[in-house]
Amino acid sequence: MSELKISTVYMVLYNYSDKDYSVVKIMESLEKAFEYICLQEQNGYLISKHCRLIEVKDKHQVDFPYDDDCVNVCYVTTGKYTKLDIYNREDTSQYVIVPMIVN
């Protein structure tokens, strides 16, 4: 009998309209997903901004302070990203990271 192997992958999603998301990439680690988003964000800006990973546990937690020199990247730890409203926030990436358990 074979063992059931459970692992976590990290979906990189793009918020293209209100609460609508599309899957962009699936990565094996949170660090790789974050690095991918940072590269995408740095290519989109004329000036260099650093990225900051923000853990989001509920849809109302996106009230973090504004920082003009930083791009916030949301890591939705609960997996409940469909109600997360980050569209049109200047300080927040439209990319989000969502963990998904696969077996």
HEC profile of 15-76: EEECCEEEEEEEECCHHHHHHHHHHHHHHHCCCCCEEEEEEECCCCCCCCCCCCCEEEEEEE
The count of structural domains within the chain is 1
- pLDDT for 28: 94
pTM assigned to the model: 0.84
- pLDDT for 79: 77
Q: Does residue 2 fall inside a structural domain?
A: no
Q: Which residues of the chain have pLDDT under 50?
A: none
Residue 62, both tokens: 């996106």
Q: Look up the domain containing 68 and give its range.
A: 7-102
Q: Does residue 83 fall inside a structural domain?
A: yes
- pLDDT for 2: 60
Q: Does residue 1 fall inside a structural domain?
A: no
Q: Does residue 42 fall inside a structural domain?
A: yes
- pLDDT for 85: 72
Q: Does residue 34 fall inside a structural domain?
A: yes
